[in-house]
Amino acid sequence: MRMLWRSPTAIFLMVTSFGLLACSAATARVEPKIRVLLYRGADPIKVGLVARSGEVRIDADGDLVVDGQKQAKRWTPNGHGPWRVGSRIVRGEIVVRSHRQRIEVLNRVDLEEYVASTVGGEMSPSWPAHALRAQAVAARTYVLYEADRHRDRAWDVRSTAVSQVYRGLEAETRETVRATRATEGQILTYAGEPILAVFHSTSGGQTATAGEVWGEDLPYLRIVEVEDEDDAPHTYWRTAFGREGLSGILEAAGIVVGELRNMTIADRTPSGRVESLIVDGSTGSHRLRGRQLRLLLGGLALRSTLFEIRESDDEFVFVGSGHGHGVGMSQWGARAMARQGASYQRILARFYPGTRIEQLLPIRRSLQEISQGEDPPNDETSQEGDHR
């Protein structure tokens, strides 16, 4: 089954293990629900109402045990929330299940409430309003794209940067709620379908194509020049590794070349990122992809694949620019555009060329009011605006 997105009045219907998520826009609106995987692990975790959460653990039979009472393989706490899951407090509904000797905690939450939290998880609420609005539209589009892809799975997205950062009530602020309300129900589409609205921290001067990073090009994820990222903390960076330490990391990953002698960049992608490099050692050589090296060294050490390598007698120094995979919207680039007066429509048009902003469902003000006073006016009333 594919979701229908052909017009603002199209039926939006999704059925998951949680049940019916939404209904026809022609009838009474039901808020789409997002299923978030909050926790997966073998260690006990506190789950329940904020005032009286209980410890959930898993026994030798793979059953859940809540405060000493066995609950079989699935447990739903009583009450209406908000809920505590470890250190996180969330809205919506909670389901805990045992799956492959692991505890999984799932949160079913209204789309707009999810977006309000995710904007705060991905951007500083102090950033300009139109940067936050651009993030809200991207976050909403991304999660619905993922929900369609994973509709046969028990959850749509994770709560971490593997998907996009969702911290529940902690990340909701007056500013993130306003950004969500100002863009309520708006998504990015290409040829009538929601796009893969990925984003990253800092591009390092230009974004990458989807093909460079994931092997399949998408027409709206292209190379885009990005200016004014100099305020970003990772526009320029430097990381050093000792020869022995780097050799040990490579050997642990099965790349055995003997004593490490040198590393040479072999190929670059069209946006200048490292496609592959050659690792030479005393017993042989190995061709390594730039993305693979970044995974081995860690995203905080090798912040992007846009780097040069400098060698000395005892270490390799990686000098680079940007932070993240580099595809889609640069968040610091969006901040710079918003500070210069660009609307969120223009920001999104810049980073996702050829897409349109469309209304998912009729607007229904449903987010809980967090602050006193009126919301700022939405001065971009056209569904398409300048986003073409």
Instruction: Tell me what pLDDT residue 29 has.
Output: 54
Q: What is the pLDDT of residues 177-226, one digit of tens each?
A: 999 999 999 999 999 999 999 999 999 999 999 999 999 999 999 999 99
- Check whether 16 has a pLDDT greater than 50: no
Domain locations in the chain?
Answer: 15-197+346-359, 236-321
Question: When comparing pLDDT for 364 and 43, which is higher?
Answer: 43
- How does the average pLDDT of the chain come out, rounded? 87
What CA–CA distance (Å, rounded) separates 320 from 236? 6
Weakest-pLDDT range from 18-27, 151-160, 250-259, 291-300: 18-27
Q: What is the pLDDT of residues 259-275, one digit of tens each?
A: 999 999 999 999 999 99
Q: What angle do CA 330, 322, 196 make, to 5 degrees?
A: 35
Report the percentage of the chain scoring pLDDT > 70.
85
Q: What is the pLDDT of residues 25-44, one digit of tens each?
A: 333 456 789 999 999 999 99
Please give the average per-residue pLDDT across 242-250, as a whole number. Answer: 94
Instruction: Tell me what pLDDT residue 362 has.
Output: 57
10 Å CB burial of residue 117 (0-12, 13-18, 19+) is buried
Name which of 291, 290, 325 is nearest 207 in CA terms. Answer: 325
> In 83-218, which ranges are continuous DSSP H helix?
111-122, 129-149, 174-182, 210-214
> pLDDT-derived band of residue 361, with 50, 70 and 90 as boundaries?
low
Place of tokens 């709620």: 177
Instruction: Tell me what pLDDT residue 300 has.
Output: 85
10 Å CB burial of residue 371 (0-12, 13-18, 19+) is exposed
> In 16-110, which ranges are continuous DSSP H helix?
none
- Check whether 18 has a pLDDT greater than 60: no
Q: What is the pLDDT of residues 222-240, one digit of tens each?
A: 999 999 999 999 999 999 9
What CA–CA distance (Å, rounded) separates 90 from 33? 14
C-alpha dihedral, 216 to 220 to 226 to 229, nearest 10°: -80
Instruction: Tell me what pLDDT residue 288 has.
Output: 96
Name which of 93, 224, 183 is nearest 382 in CA terms. Answer: 183
Q: What is the pLDDT of residues 66-110, one digit of tens each?
A: 999 999 999 999 998 899 999 999 999 999 999 999 999 999 999
Q: Is 221 left (phi over 0), alpha (psi -120 to 50) or beta?
A: beta
10 Å CB burial of residue 340 (0-12, 13-18, 19+) is exposed
- Specify whether the CB–CB gap between 322 and 308 falls below 8 A: no
What CA–CA distance (Å, rounded) separates 250 from 207? 28
